[in-house]
A and B are shown apart, each in its own frame.
Chain A
Amino acid sequence: MRKTLAVAAVALATVSFAGAAQARDQIRVVGSSTVYPFTTAVAEQFGKAGKFKTPVVESTGTGGGFKLFCAGVGPDHPDLTNASRAIKKSEMESCAKNGVTDVVEMKVGYDGIVLAASKKAKHIDVTRKQLFQALAKEVPVNGKLVENPYTTWNQIDPSLPASKIEVLGPPPTSGTRDAFLELVMEPGAEAFPEIKDLKKSDEKAFKKVFSSIREDGAYVEAGENDNLIVQKLDANANAFGIFGYSFLDQNADKLQGSMVDGVAPTFDAIAAGKYPVSRPLFVYAKKAHVGQIPGIKEYLAEYTSEKAWGKAGYLADKGLIPMPDSERKEQATKVNALEALKM
């Protein structure tokens, strides 16, 4: 018994060290959970073609992805990272410090963030200013910032329904929340002249005003799981939810997207850039790994092919909003030539 165990332990140790020393033959991707559904779909198609192993895609969040991606060059570090925003300067610097100097940026398409409600509710049209008033912790009333006094939508504007303000949305750790603050709350706050003045005089205080979401129960942090929000909206006709367009697309029989600034969140409106709450999605590739890890170039080629990210491609079917024709072409040439970002 003891002898068998010892043999097993030795065998295990040998196998593991041999394995660790071996070079990797499989692409590894980390990063944003928003880009994850698209990168995985491409990975699956790429693997099905049979020439290379299916890439392994981890969902670590944009920030966590860059941290892993920038940690160094070599088989122990990921080859690609997904991001729901462009790389920050600080991240570029940390990349460069660890020897990751040549990074290829690929914009893959757009994602809309929608304010949706059950089909049983009345269809509404809100402005970003009204959304700010409904959701910010402190709002201006008669020129002074006070604790948010609004409890029903029609207190903000008579055209809105007389129901209680109840919005289910992502928690602060989520990239969707960051994008929502940047695309809705910031322009919403700027619509008030007194806050706009604040931006000029005190940038930090301004940031605090638009990024503080009320905590009195009108905004409910629903966790990272968007399916949960969908179920809750279906059960409660008065509630609104904030999540990515693909979930609205999949549940269009139960939910409706509210119009923001007069534009409904449809595929065409987001693709045309008319819907105001949309953001670009990115994938970053490590140029130093091309040629070291097999298949990176081919994987990028699959991603940038029309059958993947084109208007009728399989990514559009998964809810990705494709870029306009000219931009796709431009990105594809740039990416396939492995043009690195300027540091």
Chain B
Amino acid sequence: MVENAIAVTPAQAAASRLKQRYAAETRFKFLGISAIVLSLSFLALLLVTILSNGLTAFVQTSIRVDITLDAETLGIDPVKPSADALSSANYGQVIKNAMYKAFPAVESRPELRQLAAMVSSGADVGLRKMLVANPSLLGTTQSVWLVADDDVDMAMKGHITRKAGAEGSRLTDAQLGWLDELEARGNVAKRFNTALFTVGDSREPEQAGLWGAVVGSFFSLSITLLVCFPLGVATAVYLEEYAPKNRWTDLIEVNINNLAAVPSVVFGLLGLAIFLNFFGFPRSAPLVGGLVLALISLPTIIIAARAAMKAVPPSIREAALGLGASKLQMVTDHVLPLSMPGILTGTILGMAHALGETAPLLMIGMVAFIVDIPASPLDPAAVLPVQVYLWADSPERAFVERTSAAIMVLLFFLATMNLAAIFLRKKFERRW
């Protein structure tokens, strides 16, 4: 009776199956957890890299010097300084003189040049601002913090070596010596990098800022919102509340879903063909950028708005109609207010998506070096992701940390928008 010996009772079989099922369950859970752990660790790696690279960009090395605002050197009439003379005065020379005075022992011409080069070539801007705001400082000696050159900044932050005699260093041994001396005197400090948040792009890393890109992004997204919110909601209302269910509406629905998946660069080409070539809108303008981004986020908003309206119970519609409301009244007084949290959430997520786009903007000329801060949606402007892209491609070493800083600013805006979406949903969502 060999067969009987290996046969198992039904109860035993069930127990072993149960064990297998438990094991499968555990494996499945484990897989799920490891997927989450893996994606979280990627995210952590990304954030740690960006933070460790970019945090130092929020401070900028400055050098303190005693500057004599000598009217003669500046080329300003000391008795009656005109506003024009104040703004076009020779600030570069007084800065140079102040640096020379800090190191009186330096005499040879090449060394004097190296000494003057330790201060940023844009340091005169701050000085000009100071004197224009307060002309009475003319003729006095002021202790002023000047923005240091990017190479000095990199040395102070430890990105390039401060050991004298290192081959290939961007700073000469003399410059490193002066830097040590200045530091010993307490005249070098890392101060908050205000330029990063107040000025536009520059080819000198220490003078480059994000403000132009932030303003450009603001204009673009305002246009996007202005165009795609009313359009998206109107489309959703019609499709959800009015449209008859037939082959045409099915076709439209399929197409809207397809549009949401079209690569964004295609929309850029469309924008180039329609807005620039046909309508003749200006290149690089946030107006066009906003319109293109509106095309991209429109499907997302329509889909979200329809889903939100679908979630409003039919009983509410029937009650409104039953009490004699017209269909328009039913939509504006009941369906729209009740679905608004969902619509807004969808809109904000669509906007956040639009904020991060670069590819379509390449086609319409927004990937460009633009220094002036745009004053209207018609002025040329860059946007935040474009600024990240342009800085990442620059040879200067100091742009590496600034790229990470720009990414942080972009992520900050994205996180704020997503938090706003979550907040709106939590606060106004109604459940039935």
Contacts and interface: CB of A to CB of B under 8 A. Distances in A.
Interface of A: 5, 8-9, 12, 15-16, 19-20, 24, 26, 28, 30, 33, 36-37, 40-41, 43-44, 47, 50, 53-54, 56-59, 76, 119, 224-227, 244, 246-247, 249-256, 314, 318-319
Given A43-B371, A44-B202, A59-B368, A227 B392 contact: yes
B397 A36 contact: no
Given A20-B281, A28-B283, A59-B367, A54 B170 contact: no
B372 interface: yes
B392 A41 contact: no
Nearest to B117: A317
Contact of A41 (B203, B378, B380): B203
Given A44-B371, A54-B371, A58-B365, A225 B392 contact: yes
Interface string B264-282: 0000000000001001111
A319 B395 CA distance: 9
13 contacts: A9-B226, A19-B282, A40-B203, A57-B369, A59-B367, A59-B368, A59-B393, A76-B276, A76-B280, A225-B392, A225-B393, A249-B395, A256-B168
Contact of A57 (B161, B166, B167, B368): B368
A37 B280 CA distance: 29
B369 A56 contact: yes
Contacts of A50: 88
B372 A246 contact: no
Contacts of B368: 56-59
A44 B209 CA distance: 13
A44 B395 contact: no
Given A15-B378, A36-B369, A227-B393, A253 B167 contact: yes
B424 interface: no
A216 B235 CA distance: 52
A314 B202 CA distance: 14
A318 B378 CA distance: 31
B284 interface: yes
Nearest to A21: B280
A91 to B, nearest CB: 20
Contacts, number: 106
A12 B392 contact: no
Contacts of A47: 371-372
Contact of B287 (A16, A56, A227, A244): A16
Contacts of B280: 20, 76
B400 A16 contact: no
Contact of B394 (A28, A30, A37): A37
Nearest to A6: B230
Contacts of A254: 168
A50 B89 CA distance: 12
Contacts of A8: 226
B88 A250 contact: no
Contacts of A244: 395
A253 B380 CA distance: 38
Given A43-B371, A56-B369, A247-B395, A227 B400 contact: yes
Contact of A251 (B88, B376, B397): B397
A224 B362 CA distance: 15
A20 B395 contact: no
B393 A224 contact: yes
Interface string B387-421: 00010111111001000000000000000000000
Contact of B161 (A9, A20, A36, A253): A253
B246 to A, nearest CB: 29
Interface string B253-297: 000000000000000000000001001111111010000000000
B370 interface: yes
A269 to B, nearest CB: 16
B167 A19 contact: no
Nearest to A312: B113
- Among A225, A250, A256, the one with the most B-chain Cβ atoms within 10 Å of its Cβ is A250
B273 to A, nearest CB: 13
Contacts of A252: 167-170
B132 interface: no
Contacts of B223: 12
A20 B203 contact: no
- Among B170, B223, B283, the one with the most A-chain Cβ atoms within 10 Å of its Cβ is B283
B112 interface: no
Contacts of B367: 58-59
Contact of B168 (A26, A33, A253): A253
Given A37-B203, A318-B203, A56 B395 contact: no
Nearest to B399: A227
Nearest to A30: B365
A20 B288 CA distance: 11
Contacts of B168: 119, 252-256
